[in-house]
């Protein structure tokens, strides 16, 4: 299953995030960003491999009203969070192997970064 898109799959994202233990992996991007568009296929492949996680593609400029507190300075920015905490939030080179390695490492680590950034805004689709 390809990454969900907040423009078309908001209800599905909210349902998936309501399930306990679901790890949320979001690519925060902008439609005008060529690097983001090139990265999309690889991000979708990661979603296909990790069906136990909720992958979402979010054009933050289309949803600026929902994410005005989110400080995204460069694209693509990856956010990984569980229901308790943010596990990672930052710009990542558009190489799926980097995100794959982060997912492996982060799922083995305890929660230790900070409160979730997107879940509250996505809970009300």
Which one, of 11, 76, 93, lies nearest residue 37 by Cα?
Answer: 76
pLDDT tens track for 38-56? 999 999 999 999 999 999 9
Which one, of 56, 49, 45, 57, lies nearest residue 17 by Cα?
Answer: 56
pLDDT for res 105: 84
Give the chain's residues under pLDDT 50.
Answer: none
Assign 79 to helix, strand or coil. Answer: strand
**Alpha carbon distances (Å) from 66 to 5, 17, 58, 59, 117:** 15, 16, 11, 11, 11
pLDDT for res 123: 65
Domains and CATH numbers, the chain: 4-122 (3.40.30.10)
For 4-43, b/e burial (b = at least 16 CB within 10 A) is bbbeebbebbeebbeeeebbbbbbbbbeebeebeebbebb
pLDDT for res 121: 63
pTM exceeding 0.85: no
Prior bond of 10 cis (ω within 30°): no
């Amino acid at each position: 299953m390809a990454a969900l898109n907040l423009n078309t799959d908001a209800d599905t994202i909210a349902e998936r995030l309501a399930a306990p233990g679901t790890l949320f992996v979001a690519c925060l991007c902008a439609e005008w960003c060529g690097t983001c568009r090139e990265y999309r296929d690889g991000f979708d492949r990661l979603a296909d491999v990790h069906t136990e996680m909720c992958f979402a593609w979010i054009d933050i400029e289309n949803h600026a009203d929902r994410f005005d507190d989110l400080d995204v300075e460069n694209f693509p920015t990856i956010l990984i969070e569980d229901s308790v905490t943010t596990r990672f939030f930052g710009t990542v080179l558009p190489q799926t192997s980097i995100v794959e390695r982060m997912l492996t490492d982060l799922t083995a680590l305890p929660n230790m970064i900070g409160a979730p950034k997107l879940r509250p805004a996505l809970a009300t689709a």
